[in-house]
Amino acid sequence: MTLLFMGLGLLGLSAFAFWYVWERSHRKTMKMPAGVDLSRSVPHRQEFELYHNVLSLCARKVRICLAEYNIPYRSHHIDLIETGSYEVISRDYLAINPGGLVPTLIHNGHPVYESDFIINYIADKATGSNTRLTPTDPAKRAEMEVWIARASLIGEDASRDHQRSAGQCIPPMTVPLFVASIRYIPVAKILEGLLFHRLKDRAAFFLIFKLIGLSGVVQVTRFRQIIQSARDAMVGHLRALEDQLALTSGDWILGADFSLADVSWMSLLHRLEETWWLKHILANHGLPRVSAYWTRLKGRESYRSQITALPHPIIDRGIADLNAAITRIPGWRALYEGS
Ligand SMILES: N[C@@H](CCC(=O)N[C@@H](CS)C(=O)NCC(=O)O)C(=O)O
């Protein structure tokens, strides 16, 4: 009997090992550089197609950009673990973007990677449009690039570079929402990331978040320190934005004209709003120009059609649970109130 069980166990293990090796060899992942990959062709029906996710900061930027230019696109929603499963590392999606990240724009059948590159690429292709989101003056264009970079995710290690970019503060500042939402996602879905994701530490963090929940995460000193560092750096970035808006004294970052810089900041400020940080930061630090700027951004049609019109049930429950937790759990309240 024991021998039979041992035999069955060995058989099961060998089958798992075989499946794992086969699966890994069909899910090769690597970091993809910014740019158009002309060597790769993707089946397509429209000039522009977008592989994106409703929650992703970078994908939102690209959706807003397409909407501002009034460019129709075919939408392919790809789940991240945050929205339910690791579709980003499915065989089908890795064939399009071996980096396993969203967004990927498909232009005439070729993938274009990295959101900052993509929005500039769209601007270059939209020459026939009446809309112009890039200044012709080279100095203004350079200024726009600085503000795009400042809202950008510049690295894959969320614990560093918070002073360099507000975008880099976003993953730690989204942790509370991730923790709140991961409650609704089964552990088995997270394990797929541990087996096949290029960035295994991300999957490991989600597993920890799932296991210890909002009340546990806020008690881990290292997590608290990273969130505090991102929060404090973000206040600095928003102060710089306040100064910029005072300097240009127009409605938008560069002055009178809405640009790709505002596209990037619309996505970033929305993330700060949905994670409840914006409300607390504005209450604690004033920043009247940022507040008025945010109201103007929310008034744009692209915000409505590409952000608020695309809710997600898991994220919406996470947002509501998080709001309750900030009042209920002293550690989160202290973090949100700035201590
Ligand atoms: N620098 C890249 C960052 C892309 C990125 O990190 N995308 C995230 C969503 S905002 C993602 O796909 N995460 C999936 C995962 O880590 O599993 C860009 O700007 O496009």
Give the model confidence (pLDDT) of 65-111 as tens digits. Answer: 999 999 999 999 999 999 999 999 999 999 999 999 999 999 999 99
CATH of domain 35-125: 3.40.30.10
The helix/strand/coil state of 51 is strand
Average pLDDT over residues 280-289: 95
Distance (Å, whole) CA 26 – CA 19: 11
pLDDT band for position 131 (cuts 50, 70, 90): very high
Q: Which residue CA neighbors atom 12 of ligand 1 most closely?
A: 101
Give me ligand 1 centre to Cα 331, in Å.
28
Distance (Å, whole) CA 62 – CA 52: 9
Q: What is the DSSP letter of 87?
A: G
Tokens of 165: 């970019």
CATH of domain 138-337: 1.20.1050.10
Instruction: With residue 302 as reference, give the H or E element that holds it.
Output: helix 301-303
Give the rounded percent of residues in the chain with a pLDDT score beyond 70: 100
Give me ligand 1 centre to Cα 113, in Å.
10
Residue 196: per-residue pLDDT: 92
Partners of residue 51 on adjacent β-strands: 76, 104
Atom of ligand 1 nearest to the CA of 53: 9
Q: Which residue CA neighbors atom 11 of ligand 1 most closely?
A: 101
Give the model confidence (pLDDT) of 166-207 as tens digits. Answer: 999 999 999 999 999 999 999 999 999 999 998 889 999 999
Is the C-beta atom of 104 inside 6 A of ligand 1?
no
Is the C-beta atom of 190 inside 6 A of ligand 1?
no
Give me ligand 1 centre to Cα 130, in Å.
31
pLDDT-wise least confident of 15-29, 137-151, 219-233, 272-286:
15-29
Per-domain residue ranges of the chain: 35-125, 138-337
pLDDT band for position 155 (cuts 50, 70, 90): confident
Residue 299: per-residue pLDDT: 98
